[in-house]
Amino acid sequence: MNKTYTGDFIDEPLIQALLTETASLPKNQLEAIIEKARKAKGLTTQEVAALIQLEDETLLQKLFSAALEIKQKIYGKRLVLFAPLYLSNYCINNCVYCGYGCRNNQITRKKLTMDEIRDEVQALEELGHKRLMLDMGEDPELTPIEYVIDAMKTIYNTTKDNGAIRRVNIQIAATTVEEYKMLKEAGIGTYILFQETFHRETYSKMHPSGPKRDYNWHTTAVERAMEGGIDDVGMGVLYGLYDYRFEVVSLMLAINHLEEKFGIGPHTLSFPRMRAAEGVNLDTFPYLVSDDQFKKIIAVLRLAVPYTGMIISTRENPDYRDEIIDLGISQMSAGSCVGVGGYKAQLDNLKKGEHTAIEDSSQFQVADHRTPDEILRNICEAGYIPSYCTACYRKGRTGDRFMPLAKSGEIQNICQPNALLTLKEYLMDYATPETREIGEKAIQKHLAMIPNPQVKQMTIDELKKIETGERDLYF
Residues that bind ligand SF4 (CB under 6 A): 78, 80, 91, 93, 95, 98, 100-101, 137-138, 212, 387, 389-392, 411, 414-415, 418
Contact 133, 85 (CB under 8 A): yes
Q: How many CB atoms lie within 10 A of CB 329?
A: 25
Give the containing element (helix H, strand E) for 192.
strand 188-196
Cβ nearer to ligand SF4, comparing 48 with 280: 280
CB of 419 to ligand SF4, least distance (A): 6
Cβ nearer to ligand SF4, comparing 212 with 224: 212
Give the containing element (helix H, strand E) for 170.
strand 167-171
CB of 18 to ligand SF4, least distance (A): 29
CB of 416 to ligand SF4, least distance (A): 8
- What string of DSSP letters covers 300-318? HHHHH-TTSEEEE-TTS-H
Q: How many CA atoms lie within 13 A of 173 on its CB side?
A: 23
Cα angle: 18, vertex 192, 419; to 5 degrees: 105
Cβ nearer to ligand SF4, comparing 33 with 80: 80
Number of H helices, E strands in the chain: 20, 11
Cβ nearer to ligand SF4, comparing 101 with 372: 101
Please state, in angstroms and rounded to a whole number, the distance separating the CA atoms of residues 337 and 371.
10
Q: How many CB atoms lie within 10 A of CB 464?
A: 11
CB of 214 to ligand SF4, least distance (A): 12
CB of 426 to ligand SF4, least distance (A): 14
Cβ nearer to ligand SF4, comparing 15 with 91: 91
Residues 6+ apart with CB under 8 A from 346: 123, 127, 335, 337, 356, 357, 358
CB of 203 to ligand SF4, least distance (A): 12
Cβ nearer to ligand SF4, comparing 158 with 398: 398
Cβ nearer to ligand SF4, comparing 25 with 173: 173
Helix boundaries (H) for 169-273: 177-185, 200-206, 215-219, 221-227, 244-262
CB of 467 to ligand SF4, least distance (A): 21
405-413 long-range contacts, CB within 8 A, separation 24+: 406/74, 406/307, 406/308, 407/306, 407/307, 409/40, 409/73, 409/74, 411/74, 411/75, 412/73, 412/74, 412/75, 412/76, 413/452, 413/455
400-407 long-range contacts, CB within 8 A, separation 24+: 400/231, 400/263, 400/264, 402/232, 402/267, 403/264, 403/265, 403/307, 406/74, 406/307, 406/308, 407/306, 407/307
Cβ nearer to ligand SF4, comparing 93 with 195: 93
Cβ nearer to ligand SF4, comparing 53 with 88: 88
CB of 137 to ligand SF4, least distance (A): 4
CB of 127 to ligand SF4, least distance (A): 19
